[in-house]
Amino acid sequence: MIYVVSEPICPEEIYSRITKSTAGSVLLHYAVVKETPHNEAGTRGVEYCRNGDMEAEMAGIIEQLKSRWKLEDVLLIRRLGCLKTGEIISLIGVSSPNSADAFAACQHGIVLLKKMTTFVKKEKCGE
């Protein structure tokens, strides 16, 4: 499942979206906007923008994960717009019959999400 959204990501809804009928392990990872030491100018947020076909790139990530590990489901969400410190930027959710595959796939998925070329970050927004 792939979602590119502009509204805040609601953690309470995510668990219900991932298939888990034969999963013994469900793992969710939220990436959030963090305050960084080099932001001394009082940045109020970070802007995330689309730079191409995000859905196709995210579908490729799902394919890679499913081909490498035994997974029941993979869920990817990316948020666009101006986000403040602490807000959720992206989410990866995986369900698997075993925890080793869930953890490995989630960790690799995080790496791939960070390398996306169709999702770009601007350091400041809301000023």
Measure CA 77 to chain center: 5
Residues 59-63, mean pLDDT to the nearest whole number: 98
pLDDT of amino acid 107: 97
pTM of the predicted structure, to 2 decimals: 0.87
**Segment (H or E) for 48:** strand 46-50
pLDDT of amino acid 44: 67
Confidence check: pLDDT of 55 > 60: yes
Is 35 in a helix, a strand, or coil?
coil
Cα-based distances in Å from 71 to 78, 107, 110: 21, 13, 16
Confidence check: pLDDT of 37 > 70: no
With 0-12 / 13-18 / 19 or more C-beta atoms within 10 angstroms meaning exposed / middle / buried, residue 2 is middle
Q: How confident is the model at residue 82 (pLDDT cuts 50, 70, 90)?
A: very high
CA distance 1 to 74: 6
CA angle 10, 54, 107 (to 5 degrees): 65
Q: How confident is the model at residue 127 (pLDDT cuts 50, 70, 90)?
A: low
| pLDDT above 70 coverage of the chain, percent | 90
CA dihedral 13, 15, 17, 20 (to 10 degrees): -160
65-78 burial, b at 16+ Cβ within 10 Å, e below that, comes to beeebebbbbbbbb
Q: How confident is the model at residue 57 (pLDDT cuts 50, 70, 90)?
A: very high
